[in-house]
Homo-oligomer: A and B are copies of this chain.
Amino acid sequence: MAAAVGVTLEQAQKMVAAAVAKSTEMGVLMNVAVVDAGGNLTAFAHMDGAWLGSIDISIKKARTARMFDMPTGAIGGLSQPGGPLYAIEHSNGGLITFPGGVPVTGADGELIGAIGVSGSTVEDDHAVAEAGAAAL
């Protein structure tokens, strides 16, 4: 029988709950997505009234962070015109390379997934993603 590939549903829901709580505390409306070590969607929440367009963005941020094992904003620094990874967003069915996605590591430091947040400024998105990841 198959087991979870990295993050479990329990861990993912804990991260989502922490991210939603942080958003409420900050007074922002977010979409929060958690993917497992394989980049597959594990848990998701859309806060009432949050931007509908940020649903897809939050999922793409989580996938992007896991696909390259770094915060999404770090990739965005490399994908600008003239940069070494210019236009990498065209790969993998569409990447999102601005802040709001961060990899998540387990107890032994191994990568177990990623969390992606979208719905406010990229600074807010990143802060909420960090709060979610810190819940583990």
Q: A76 interface residue, CB < 8 Å from B?
A: yes
Interface size class of A (residues with CB under 8 A): 35 or more
Q: A95 interface residue, CB < 8 Å from B?
A: yes
Q: Are B98 and A84 in contact (CB under 8 A)?
A: yes
Give CA–CA (A96, B88) in the complex, Å: 7
Give CA–CA (A2, B39) in the complex, Å: 13
**Contact surface of A with B, Cβ cutoff 8 Å:** 1-5, 8-9, 12-13, 20, 29, 36-57, 60, 64, 66-69, 76, 79-82, 84-99, 110-111, 121-122
Please indicate the chain B residues that have their CB under 8 angstroms from the CB of A69 in the complex: 2, 51
Q: Are B98 and A60 in contact (CB under 8 A)?
A: no
Which of A40, A64, A69, A79 has its CB near the most chain B CB atoms (within 10 A)?
Answer: A40
